[in-house]
Amino acid sequence: MMKLLVTGGAGFIGSAVVRQFLAETDDTVINLDKLTYAGNLDSLGDSYDHPRHIFERVDICDRAEVERVFQQHRPDAVMHLAAESHVDRSITGPAAFIETNVVGTSTLLDVARGYWSELPSEQKQRFRFHHISTDEVYGDLGPEDPAFTEETPYAPSSPYSASKASSDHLVRAWQRTYGLPTLITNCSNNYGPYQFPEKLIPLVILNALEGKPLPIYGKGDNIRDWLHVEDHARALRTVLAQGEPGRTYNIGGRAEKTNLQVVEAICDLLDTHYPLPTTHSRLTTHRDLITFVSDRPGHDRRYAIDDTRISQELDWQPQENFDSGLRKTVQWYLDNPEWVNRVRSGAYREWIEANYASREAVS
């Protein structure tokens, strides 16, 4: 049993990590999240009220508050997922990415270092700072290039990936200079339930359900490797438990697809389960909604992960294959109109502001 501090636990991947820890272990989870537009406590479902879940609305850039959380809850390990995560937003507004992903990560690291350095020796040895990062730090690949390994040189293309690369370097520096026992994982594109509909898969599902255009950047031939979020959460738990401090592990889904293949697959799934609205009678299939739009500036062509290290050293493999994972994901969005409507209408934000504004006023 341990006390785990998860940052970003109200986000897409963080909420999956929190739900999994609470359901499958006896650990206590301290969930530290600022609740930006991407933070949604609805995504925790019943886990929010779980007796082993403690929620702290805190900005990782706020050193005093982060110190308070460490001193008050005394975690055995940190899993750091809080970040600005959307590439398109980083292109129109990079400042928040530098602030949270770079300054915030350095603040968290430094508070963790101070806390860790004063732990009793046994606890100090067991402590881990696990930083959750992306394959985008490696830049992109040509069609015939070998997949990214943990030795691939960094070459980030977007403000988002540059900010994540910076945070990875900070984590390595804190490990090398101060001896903080860190772990880094670099993962490919995640998909699954509770993903904010700014990212390709939920955006396309929800636009298709409303008969809206499905925007594909450029020709749709950019390639991503897709991993189900529950598989990612399982990989993170494996690395935290068994990973060697100071080491990096790549995590991937063994599912390279062009964006057009992904969007067409969603359209085909919806054609069988959810016929087009009658208002669109001149359209015969959801594929007719596909609209090619101008490309993302600096758009990475291809990502692919060589998962030899995590699969051979830690015996982790993805369990969900992309076809069935995508089918379940489409079904989840069909089955959860309440979550979808609250996200789309912004209602979840009103609840957060009402709830936490009053809490702040009292303290």
State the catalytic residues.
135-136, 160
Give the integer Cα–Cα distance in Å for 227 and 304: 11
From 31-39, 255-263, 296-304, 329-337, span contacting ligand NAD (CB under 6 A): 31-39
How near is the Cβ of 272 to ligand NAD at its closest, in Å?
Answer: 26
Residue ranges in 95-134 that form contacts with ligand TDX under rule CB under 6 A:
134
Residue whose CB is less far from ligand NAD, 15 or 311 = 15
Question: From residue 81, how far is each of 8, 88, 105, 133, 351 by CA, in Å?
Answer: 5, 19, 10, 8, 23
Give the integer Cα–Cα distance in Å for 308 and 169: 22
132 belongs to the binding site for ligand NAD (CB under 6 A): yes
Burial classification of residue 353, based on how many CB atoms lie within 10 Å of its CB (0-12 exposed, 13-18 middle, 19 or more buried): exposed
* Pairing of β 182-187 and β 28-33: unpaired
From 23-31, 68-76, 117-125, 215-223, span contacting ligand TDX (CB under 6 A): 215-223
Residue ranges in 154-183 that form contacts with ligand NAD under rule CB under 6 A:
164
Partnered with residue 29 across adjacent β-strands are 4, 53
136 belongs to the binding site for ligand TDX (CB under 6 A): yes
Residue ranges in 219-238 that form contacts with ligand TDX under rule CB under 6 A:
222, 224
How near is the Cβ of 306 to ligand TDX at its closest, in Å?
Answer: 17
Nearest residue to 247 via CA among 304, 176, 153, 147: 176
How near is the Cβ of 283 to ligand TDX at its closest, in Å?
Answer: 19
192 belongs to the binding site for ligand NAD (CB under 6 A): no
85 belongs to the binding site for ligand TDX (CB under 6 A): yes
Instruction: Work out which of 28, 107, 190, 250 binds ligand NAD, going by CB under 6 A.
Output: 190
The mark string for 48-77 relative to ligand TDX (x by CB under 6 A, - otherwise) is ------------------------------
Torsion of the alpha carbons at 309, 315, 319 and 323, rounded to the nearest 10: 30
How near is the Cβ of 132 to ligand NAD at its closest, in Å?
Answer: 5
Residue whose CB is less far from ligand TDX, 224 or 237 = 224
Residue ranges in 40-69 that form contacts with ligand NAD under rule CB under 6 A:
59-61
From 4-12, 286-294, 300-308, 336-344, span contacting ligand NAD (CB under 6 A): 4-12
- Angle ∠(254,193,27) on CA atoms, nearest 5: 90
Residue whose CB is less far from ligand TDX, 124 or 296 = 296
Question: Residue numbers of the site for ligand TDX (CB under 6 A)?
Answer: 85-87, 134, 136, 189, 199-200, 203, 215-217, 222, 224, 259, 296
Question: Residue numbers of the site for ligand NAD (CB under 6 A)?
Answer: 7-8, 10-14, 33-36, 38-39, 59-61, 81-85, 100, 104, 132, 134, 164, 187, 189-190, 196
